[in-house]
A and B are shown apart, each in its own frame.
Chain A
Amino acid sequence: MRIRLLATLLLLYLALVPGASAQEPFPTRPISLVAPFPPGGVADLMARPVAAAMEKVLKSPAVVVNKTGAAGAVGMSFVANSKPDGYTLLMALSSISIIPEADKLFDRKPAYTMDQLTPVALISADPTILVVRADRPWKSVKEFVEDAKKRPGEISYSSSGVYGTLHMAMEMLSHAAGIKLKHVPYGGAGPALTAILGGHVDTLASGPAVILPHIKAGKLRPLAGWGSKRVAALPDLPTFKELGYDIEFYIWAGVFAPTGTPDPILKKLRDTVRQAVQEPDFKSAMTKLETPVAYLDAPEFQKFWDKDAKMLADAIKRVGRIEEKK
């Protein structure tokens, strides 16, 4: 009994202390996947099934750590500045490209820069959809844009916060359609949804999962989606691209590692995530969340990210500092 205990302790010791051998196995201790938003938020809800599936593939623990604050900046800069050894990963959303750009706009010392983080894999990318209250007159994007042109700055929309993802989606539409809408920022996507359901604003851009039940209940009417393809749950809903507006916007979630992570470890992580998204448990979890998996491996994800970040940077520059536009 005693000997077995000692042997276990020895094994544990060997497992915890990095060996001196050149080919160090990875992982030898738990990996933490940082979600920069609180439990229950999109990043957290994506991170949990990913971590669970990675755990299965690696046969080594992977835990979700919520490091929240300042619209995600706290958690993202935490990972960006942590040791690039593959044990601290980030589950980030589109806002990862917004924060450094907003810091630049305000001449702030940036919390982190985008080149501090290296993409591992894209997990999901949901296009936002434009919804209006069912009691408002607009039945199509055409009617909506025509009315908005007649009454500039009178049709209002709620957003998850100034320079937030939902604000950016609307800004892209306003720019492409040449219209001016009234922006009312709220403290998060939840309050923004509450505002349109309460009739305090006319329209909202939102991810499909949270908005579908309200569309089915007849409270909100969808006009168009921001995706390159139609949303599976709403096959009759046109995309802005089909309607002739060259805009695309996704609320995406992807895994990142700090830049400088050794290549073999990065490769191992990429392989792990590739296998993880094939796990049946992972697929069923994503189906329950009504979020289709949109897996992309690092090279393609990098391309996707570059394009997305450029689009967001342009949108932020167009919005500019809000005070200066009297």
Chain B
Amino acid sequence: MVETLQNLYLGFSIALSPSVLIYAFAGCIIGTLVGILPGVGPLAGISLLLPASFGLNATTAMVLLAGIYYGAMYGGSTTSILMRIPGEAASVMTCIDGYAMTRKGRAGPALAIAAIGSYFAGTVSVVGLMLLAPPLASFALRFGPPEYVALLLLGLLALAYMSGGSVPKALAMAALGLLLGMIGIDPMTGYFRFHYGLVELGDGIGVVPVAVGLFGLSEILLTAGQSTPPAVMKPRLRELLPSRQEWRDSVWSIGRGTVLGFLIGIIPGSAHIISSFVSYAVERRLSRHPERFGHGAVEGVAGPESANNSATSGAFVPMLALGVPSGPIPAVMLAAMMVHGISPGPLLIMQQPDLFWGFIASMYVGNVVLLILNLPLVGIFVNLLRIPYPFLYPAILVFSVVGVYAVNGSVVDVWIMAVMGVLGYLLRKFEFETAPIVLGLVLAPMLEMSLRQSLALSSGSYAVFVTRPIAATMLGLGLAILLLSLRPVFTRGLDWRRRLGLESKPSLGEEGKP
């Protein structure tokens, strides 16, 4: 413990030195912007700025890049809450209840809770990273393909809690998402599937253009279709802060989201994306009033936003403790280390204490910076809603197109976004929910890859899923949840779904009217 404190002192002496501090600051600001810009997520942001970091020394480069990563998680919630446009994939769930809160005039509290939840999650998870990195990292590596399959199946169960309306409709949407996820190169045989001659479709359909199209563009189209424009909201200052009730509702959600996000984040691969989906499902499952979800439940913002932030620290665990490129973003950061002549490996913490402890301390500092940066910004961002729709929406459209194009420099992505916008419009007119499509699209490629890897490893035997303890435990857990949620079907008790079914549902596009 004393040693940790000494190391931490060393770390802070590095992180608070002006030359490092300024890059932590820069990283956080760039990250926030990257998060706000629809389409451009942390991976794209870090990739675009990686070359700029080559001129710095290793520690400042890492501090800058990490700042972009978790800064993006703060910024990502902004457009989700205000305009129903996910700034990056991990903010998709925030669109649902965050935007519903905006429609009720509670945009300020939603943004504040998102920032505070992110701050809490960011800080607590760095403690976890600092104290538990080496033992946790070895555990995380035991997550092989079979464990991944079990985890993703758990993620798929989140579906049951994503829709407030008709279950068959939600399942149909999830199926559509899973089918869209089948587009691209078959990972085991190299065949192209459903690419229709477009090389760009070889990598499959990206989550971001689909999410921006389904959520953001469809919202713009729906608004355009209304006979009278929605009233411009004029937020008052005292409405910027969360009410006591909102605080009480979100405290535990933030705590649960933090732990959940960290645990999912340490697993190598792209599991961190599903942390916010799983967190949303957990909050809805545990809530005493699940019917509030989808209509502006503050827990639906607090949980996922905390989860996606602590997942970022989690993702650094295998990277720093073992030098393992545990996901796309850690892989880019490891490349940044290599450019500076540091070979990332299991001896990194021992050989580069300055880098490791400076990095850790900078994350504490960075989270404080982001909180200070984001809370006053709430007031500014909320005022964006004052802009009349004829000006606001075309501007959003432009930013969406630019953002989605910037990620891969691909016009195909922009077309995907446009098609998804129209699809989202039609689906929402018919009262289908679009979030399950995104979940299906996120899960399908990962699930396919890990399922087929598992079967390749086991030479085709499905027993591999029950003989490996972690996988078996998770599958058992999933089965238990499934049976629990099916219970009302057998007992025919008054399920919240039925209660909800009795309520008259406002037709789409009307819900924002006062």
Chain A residues in contact with chain B, CB under 8 A? 38-41, 44-45, 48, 64, 66-71, 73-74, 77, 102, 106, 108-109, 111, 153, 156, 161-163, 182-188, 190-191, 193-195, 197-201, 209-210, 212-214, 216-217, 219, 285, 287-290, 321-323
Structural contact, B410 and A322, CB atoms closer than 8 A: no
Chain A residue numbers with a CB within 8 Å of B144 are 195, 198-200
Q: Which of B339, B346, B410 sits near A289, CB closer than 8 Å?
A: B339
A41 to B318, CA, bound (A): 19
Structural contact, A217 and B346, CB atoms closer than 8 A: yes
Interface secondary structure of A, over-half rule: mixed
Q: Could you say which of B194-202, B388-396, B487-495 contacts chain A?
A: B194-202
- In the assembled complex, the CB of B218 is this many whole angstroms from the nearest CB of chain A, namely 26
Q: Could you say which of B47-55, B432-440, B498-506 contacts chain A?
A: B47-55
Structural contact, A161 and B268, CB atoms closer than 8 A: no
A48 to B35, CA, bound (A): 26
A242 to B345, CA, bound (A): 29
User: At the interface, yes or no: B322 with Cβ under 8 Å from chain A?
Assistant: yes
Structural contact, A66 and B47, CB atoms closer than 8 A: yes
Q: Which of A38, A74, A199, A213 sits near B47, CB closer than 8 Å?
A: A38
Chain A residue numbers with a CB within 8 Å of B343 are 209, 212-213, 290
A224 to B432, CA, bound (A): 58
Quick one: which of B308-332 are within 8 Å of A by CB? 318, 322-326, 331-332
- In the assembled complex, the CB of B341 is this many whole angstroms from the nearest CB of chain A, namely 4
Q: Which of A68, A163, A190, A287 sits near B331, CB closer than 8 Å?
A: A190
Structural contact, B199 and A214, CB atoms closer than 8 A: no
Structural contact, A184 and B142, CB atoms closer than 8 A: no
User: At the interface, yes or no: B226 with Cβ under 8 Å from chain A?
Assistant: no
- Assuming A45-B339, A287-B341, A323-B189, is B324 touching A77 (CB within 8 A)? no
Chain A residue numbers with a CB within 8 Å of B51 are 39, 48, 64
Chain A residue numbers with a CB within 8 Å of B122 are none
- Assuming A39-B51, A198-B268, A219-B346, is B335 touching A45 (CB within 8 A)? yes
Q: Which of A38, A48, A187, A200 sits near B187, CB closer than 8 Å?
A: A187
Structural contact, A73 and B187, CB atoms closer than 8 A: no
Structural contact, A108 and B192, CB atoms closer than 8 A: yes
CB closest residue in chain A, given B347: A217
Q: How large is the interface on B (under 10, 10 to 19, 20 to 34, 35 or more residues)?
A: 35 or more
Q: Which of A40, A162, A191 sits near B50, CB closer than 8 Å?
A: A40
Structural contact, A74 and B200, CB atoms closer than 8 A: yes
Chain A residue numbers with a CB within 8 Å of B145 are 184, 200
Chain A residue numbers with a CB within 8 Å of B318 are 194
- Assuming A185-B188, A321-B189, is B347 touching A213 (CB within 8 A)? yes
Chain B residue numbers with a CB within 8 Å of A214 are 323, 345-346
Structural contact, B324 and A39, CB atoms closer than 8 A: no
Q: Which of B191, B324, B339 sits near A106, CB closer than 8 Å?
A: B191
User: At the interface, yes or no: B397 with Cβ under 8 Å from chain A?
Assistant: no
- In the assembled complex, the CB of B392 is this many whole angstroms from the nearest CB of chain A, namely 33
User: At the interface, yes or no: B507 with Cβ under 8 Å from chain A?
Assistant: no
5 chain-A/chain-B pairs, Cβ below 8 angstroms: A108-B192, A213-B345, A213-B347, A214-B323, A216-B345
User: At the interface, yes or no: B185 with Cβ under 8 Å from chain A?
Assistant: yes
Chain A residue numbers with a CB within 8 Å of B143 are 198
User: At the interface, yes or no: B269 with Cβ under 8 Å from chain A?
Assistant: yes
Chain A residue numbers with a CB within 8 Å of B410 are 69, 74
| 7 A-B pairs with least C-beta separation | A213-B345, A70-B202, A40-B335, A190-B325, A288-B341, A198-B141, A200-B144
User: At the interface, yes or no: B4 with Cβ under 8 Å from chain A?
Assistant: no
Structural contact, B345 and A39, CB atoms closer than 8 A: no
Structural contact, A45 and B142, CB atoms closer than 8 A: no
Structural contact, B268 and A70, CB atoms closer than 8 A: no
- Assuming A73-B202, A190-B325, is B192 touching A106 (CB within 8 A)? yes
Contact with A along B434-457 (1 / 0, CB 8 A): 000000000000000100010011
User: At the interface, yes or no: B409 with Cβ under 8 Å from chain A?
Assistant: yes
Structural contact, B347 and A182, CB atoms closer than 8 A: no
Structural contact, A69 and B332, CB atoms closer than 8 A: no
Structural contact, B50 and A39, CB atoms closer than 8 A: yes
Structural contact, B453 and A102, CB atoms closer than 8 A: no
Contact with A along B118-161 (1 / 0, CB 8 A): 00000000000000000000000111110000000000000000
Structural contact, A198 and B338, CB atoms closer than 8 A: no
Q: Which of B199, B326, B331, B449 sits near A69, CB closer than 8 Å?
A: B199
A106 to B145, CA, bound (A): 28
Known: A74-B410, A214-B345. 7 other contacts (CB 8 A): A40-B47, A74-B202, A102-B190, A193-B325, A198-B268, A288-B341, A289-B341
Q: Which of A184, A191, A210, A321 sits near B268, CB closer than 8 Å?
A: A191
- In the assembled complex, the CB of A286 is this many whole angstroms from the nearest CB of chain B, namely 11
Chain A residue numbers with a CB within 8 Å of B456 are 156, 182-184
User: At the interface, yes or no: B510 with Cβ under 8 Å from chain A?
Assistant: no
